[in-house]
Amino acid sequence: MAGYIGHKPKLAKYAVDEFTTSSAQASSGNFTLSQTVIDEQTLEVSVGGIDQPQSAYTVSGTTLAFGASIVAENDIVIARHAGESIMYPTLEDGVVTSAKIGAGAVIDAKISGMNSTKLTGTIDGARFPATLPAADGSALTNIVHTPADNSVTGGKLDISLVAGDTMYASATDTLAKLTKGTAGQVLKMNSGATAPEWGADEGLPTAGADGQVLTSDGTNWASEAAAAGGKVLQIVTNHVTDVSSVSRAIRTAVSIPGLNATITPASTGSKILIQINWCGEDSLVTTQDLMFGIKRGSTNIGDGVDVNGNGIAMTVCSGGYQTEAGSSMDFASYQYIDSPSTISATTYHAYVYHSVTAGTLHTNRTNVDGSSNFAYERAASSITLTELSSATILLNGS
């Protein structure tokens, strides 16, 4: 049979499932509902417009099952879900704002059972009274707030700090301030050794003249002229054991490899004593024209005077073995006091010079330098720089 008595049910207030019975449904008696039925009492079922007793069907979840011969093909089956058909929406988390809550709507009774663990977060003094009520209605006590590291500024301290003030502890856990002093004053401890204070600088004396030295009488400091003859301020020495060879051109001052040293004077008035000891042999059989000197950087110093196109340097090679250029060493030892007038690092070099013939200068070895032969010597050379606070330097006795 088909159809139903009265008006077709409206779907506005509750869920209604409507079926036109198919051949398969008529055969099985089973229909699938649109929602799960929890209680059979909430479901009303009609077939062809005739309400059916609950004994005519069973409901399990979403399956509506009729007994034998109750429904036929093309029958209209209506299932009304009474009492659970209206589905109210569920609010999403965080959508209720303070503006949606009426003023005074949350009363004490609504929060009287709140667990104390719910009272968390930052307490803003501008939004709460001085004493907050506890969950049980009593005043909260022992509220401890630990500020973050470096969060307490000078503005939070009631000692009226201004620019230049110094803060110190005047007693245990008691802060005080020392107002700024005047220009040139230094911070020192007071006579009672209880607090800092500003006072005159009674330390080192004012700077003296260039080249003076700092002295003490056990109580006071003074800047005085260095004693006559000067004092040794520092010594730099370079002891060279490496062997080397260098080609030399005619009438050219050629630095000897490795035979150099660098010093940084303490004063522009300091004098530098340069002492050089060279050992080795030249490739020439006769070395009477072999000369040695000193360079400050790239400048020759202490040389003799050229009056007629002479070959000039500071000294000549030693005598004794000048006619032998094979297995016997020669040497040159000389010194000079220089006035560099600087406090910058200064390098001094030993150099070799020959005005007649080019050749090769060997340092710390003989010309032949035979292997495993006692006749071919090895030696060491050196350069020493001594800084003097002062020195009397005469040129040609004046």
Cα distances from 377 to residues 98, 243, 244, 352, in angstroms, run 103, 11, 14, 21
Q: How far apart are CA 150 and CA 291, in angstroms?
A: 73
Residues in the chain: 398
Q: For the whole model, what pTM was predicted?
A: 0.45
| Residue 340 contacts residue 301 (beta carbons within 8 Å) | no
pLDDT one digit per residue (tens) for the chain, 398 residues: 445 454 455 444 678 999 998 888 888 888 999 888 888 888 899 988 888 888 889 998 899 898 777 898 898 889 998 765 445 567 788 788 878 888 777 777 777 666 655 655 555 554 455 555 555 555 556 666 777 877 776 556 667 778 888 888 888 878 888 888 898 888 899 988 889 999 887 766 677 777 677 777 777 777 777 666 668 999 999 999 999 999 999 889 999 999 999 999 999 999 999 999 999 888 876 656 788 999 999 999 988 888 887 778 888 877 545 556 667 788 899 999 999 999 999 999 999 998 888 889 999 988 887 666 677 888 999 999 999 988 888 888 77
| Residue 71 contacts residue 18 (beta carbons within 8 Å) | no
Amino acid present at 323: T
What per-residue confidence (pLDDT) applies to 325?
A: 62
Cα distances from 35 to residues 31, 60, 84, 168, in angstroms, run 12, 11, 10, 78
CA nearest to 392, candidates 206, 190, 230, 166: 230
- What tokens appear for 205 in the block? 């004396």
- Delineate the domains of the chain, giving CATH numbers in brackets: 15-81 (no CATH), 232-388 (2.60.120.1340)
Q: Distance from CA of residue 27 to its chain's centroid?
A: 84
What per-residue confidence (pLDDT) applies to 112?
A: 66
Dihedral over Cα of 369, 370, 375, 379: its sign: positive
| Residue 291 contacts residue 251 (beta carbons within 8 Å) | no
Q: Is 56 helix (H, G, I), strand (E, B) or coil?
A: helix
Q: 202-230 burial by CB neighbour count: b if 16+ within 10 A, else e?
A: eeeeeeeeebbbeeeeeeeeeeeebeeeb
Q: How far apart are CA 299 and CA 317, in angstroms?
A: 21
What per-residue confidence (pLDDT) applies to 2?
A: 46
What per-residue confidence (pLDDT) applies to 336?
A: 94
| Residue 350 contacts residue 294 (beta carbons within 8 Å) | yes
Give the angle 273-277-281 at the CA atoms, nearest 5°: 150
CA nearest to 345, candidates 242, 262, 260, 283: 262
Half-sphere exposure of 315 (CA within 13 A, CB side): 15
